[in-house]
Structure 1
C-alpha cells in the first residue's frame, strides 16, 4: 500500500514538474527562435483594420473596427515592453469618427518609440489622419490613401418610420435642437457648414504638422480625392513605396537595431477569433431576432448620422 502511495506521489510530482517546465518554456521561447529572457530587440506590429469609431459600437454587418481604447492598449503594451524598440502600425481603414481619429493620432504622437505606418489596400480620410503623425509611412503602389476632408450626411427617415408604424412628436427647448431629425433650414445648413469647415481646418493642420508640409500646400491636396500610393509619394503624403517587410526594415533602421524579432499583436480577443463575432455584433443579432432587421437598421442609422466623419 505504501509502495503504491509513493508511486502515485511520484507521478504527481513528475507531472507538476513537467507542466512547470512546459509553462516556463512557453513563456520564454518564441517562434522566432529566440528567448524573451535574452531581451532580443523586437519590432511590435499592431494591426488597425476597419472603420474608426469612439467605441466598439459596430453594427450587425460591420467589423470590430479601430477604437482609441484598442489603440491605446496596444501602444501601452509596446511601450511597457523594454525589448520593443520600434512599432509598425498596419493601417487598413476608410476612416470614421472625427473625435476618435483625433484621439488615436494624439496617442501616436505621444509614443516615444519610433512608429512606422504600413498602409494596406486603403488608408483614407481618418485612416490617413491617424497615419500622418507617424515617423515614417510606407505604402504599396496600389494603396488608396488621402481623401483629406470632412463629410456629414443627413438622412430623411420619414419613409422608414412610416413603414414601421412609428410616429414622432418633438418637444424642444432650443431652436435647432431637432435639426437632425428633420429637413435642415438654410440657416442650419450654414451653421453646420461652419462646423465642417472648422474640422476640415484641423485635418489640414494635422497633416501639415505630421508630414512637415506647408499648410497652403496641404490645402491644395485636401479636395477629398483619393491618391494611389505612387501619387501619394510624389505629393509627400507617404515616405516610401514597398511591402510589409520594407516597413519592418525601416522601423528597425529608425530604432538602430539589426535582425529584430517581429512580434505581431493579436487584433481580436480569443472569443472573437473563435466565434468571428464581437460583443456588439452578438447584441445586434439578438435585437434583430426579437425586434426585426428593420429596427436594427433604423437604430444603426440613428447612431451613424449626422456625425461628421474623416
Structure 2
C-alpha cells in the first residue's frame, strides 16, 4: 500500500521546495512524527494561516476567502495541489479548484473592489498551476499579492501573474524557481524476494527509463526542463522581464528575502506592516499598476536591444 502511495506522488513533477516534498510523502503515509513534518509544524505557518482568517469577515459565496474594507483576501497557504486531498485537510494546503472558485466569487461580488492573494506556500504539484496563474492574470478586478512567509516555486509562478504586483514581509522569502521529481529505482530484490519488472511496448522504449543510468536521468531532466521553460515564460510575462532575467537573476532555484528580492525585481514592495499594511493600502487606493507598465517598457527595450 505504501509503495503505491509513494509511486503516485513520485509519478508527477513538482514545483516545490525539496524539504517540503519529503513532508508531503510522510503525511501521505500518515507518518506524522517524521522529522520533515515536525519541522513544518515549527516553522510558524499555522499561525500565519490563522492570522489571515482573522483579517476580515468571511467573503460571500467563498470557502476560504475573507472580505475587509472592499478587499477580498484569498489565501494561498501551504503546499499547492490541483484538488482537495488529505494534505489540504491536514495542513491547510491550497486546493487550486477551491481557490479558482473563490477567485471567481470575489470577482462577482459587488462589495469586493480589489483582491489580495495572501501567500505563504513552498509550492506544490505542477498540475493546473499555469492555468490558475492565467486566471489571476486575467482577473477583471485589480489583484495583487502579499507574501507573509514563503512564496516559492509553484506559489511564485502564481504570484508573478498578478498585475497589481507583489509586496512582501521584511522576512518573507520568494524564489525556488524550478521543477523537480522525486523518484527511485530498485537496486536489489525486495523483501519478499521479488523484483518489480516493467516491460514497455516495442515502440515505446522511453516509457520506463532506467533511472540508474545517466541516459535515463537525462530523459527525465528533459521533461522537467520543458515544464521549467513554461514556468520561466510565465514569470517573465507576469513580471515584465526577459526570460534570461528570470534564469539568471531570479535565484536560479535558490531564494531571496525581503529587500534582496525587491532589488532583484522579484517583488515590488517590502511591506513593513505586513499583511495588515497591504490590506490597508489596497483598501485606500487599490493595487498600484505603474510597476507593470514600467516593466513592460523595460522588456520592450531589452528585446529591441537583443534584436540589434
Normalising by the smaller structure, the TM-score range is: 0.5 to 0.7
2:110 corresponds to which of 82, 92, 105: 82
Task: Report the Cα offset of residue 84 of structure 1.
Answer: 0.6
SS of alignment partner, residue 94 of structure 2: coil
In the other structure, the counterpart of 2:182 is 153
Task: Report the Cα offset of residue 142 of structure 1.
Answer: 0.7
In the other structure, the counterpart of 1:137 is 166
Task: Report the Cα offset of residue 64 of structure 1.
Answer: 4.2
The structure richer in helix per residue is: 1
CA contact 1:116–1:247 (8 Å) conserved in 2: no
CA contact 1:148–1:224 (8 Å) conserved in 2: yes
Q: Normalized against structure 2, the TM-score is what?
A: 0.63
What is the alpha-carbon distance in structure 2 between the residues aligned to residue 153 and residue 74 of structure 1? 31
CA contact 1:58–1:64 (8 Å) conserved in 2: no
Task: Report the Cα offset of residue 126 of structure 1.
Answer: 1.1
What is the alpha-carbon distance in structure 1 between the residues aligned to residue 200 and residue 116 of structure 2? 49
Task: Report the Cα offset of residue 207 of structure 1.
Answer: 1.5
SS of alignment partner, residue 170 of structure 1: coil
Q: Normalized against structure 1, the TM-score is what?
A: 0.62
**Is structure 2 residue 290 aligned with structure 1 residue 255?**
no
1:185 corresponds to which of 213, 228, 234: 213
SS of alignment partner, residue 133 of structure 1: coil
CA contact 2:118–2:146 (8 Å) conserved in 1: yes
Task: Report the Cα offset of residue 162 of structure 1.
Answer: 2.5
CA contact 2:147–2:168 (8 Å) conserved in 1: yes
Task: Report the Cα offset of residue 81 of structure 1.
Answer: 0.6
CA contact 1:229–1:241 (8 Å) conserved in 2: yes
What does the per-residue CA deviation read over 1:136-161, in whole Å, with 9 as the maximum and x for residues that have no partner? 211011111111122223223667x8
CA contact 2:168–2:267 (8 Å) conserved in 1: yes
Cα separation, partners in 2 of 1:114 and 1:198, compared to 1, 3 Å: same
In the other structure, the counterpart of 2:206 is 176
In the other structure, the counterpart of 2:46 is none
Task: Report the Cα offset of residue 238 of structure 1.
Answer: 0.8
What does 1:1-310 align with in structure 2 at a 5 Å threshold? 42-59=70-87, 63-134=91-162, 135-156=164-185, 162-163=190-191, 167-173=195-201, 174-179=204-209, 183-222=211-250, 223-242=252-271, 243-255=274-286
What does the per-residue CA deviation read over 1:261-303, in whole Å, with 9 as the maximum and x for residues that have no partner? xxxxxxxxxxxxxxxxxxxxxxxxxxxxxxxxxxxxxxxxxxx
Unaligned runs of at least 5 residues, structure 1: 1-30, 257-310
What is the alpha-carbon distance in structure 2 between the residues aligned to residue 231 and residue 50 of structure 1? 23
What is the alpha-carbon distance in structure 2 between the residues aligned to residue 166 and residue 43 of structure 1? 59
SS of alignment partner, residue 80 of structure 2: coil
RCO (CA 8 Å, sep 6+): is it higher in 1 or 2? 1
What is the alpha-carbon distance in structure 2 between the residues aligned to residue 32 and residue 97 of structure 1? 29
For the pair shown, the structure with the greater C-alpha radius of gyration is 1
Unaligned runs of at least 5 residues, structure 2: 1-54, 61-67, 288-308
What does the per-residue CA deviation read over 1:8-31, in whole Å, with 9 as the maximum and x for residues that have no partner? xxxxxxxxxxxxxxxxxxxxxxx9
What is the alpha-carbon distance in structure 1 between the residues aligned to residue 128 and residue 213 of structure 2? 29
CA contact 1:56–1:64 (8 Å) conserved in 2: no
Cα separation, partners in 2 of 1:164 and 1:54, compared to 1, 3 Å: farther
Q: CA RMSD in A?
A: 2.9
In the other structure, the counterpart of 1:299 is none
Q: What count of residue pairs does the alignment treat as equivalent?
A: 218
Cα separation, partners in 2 of 1:60 and 1:163, compared to 1, 3 Å: farther
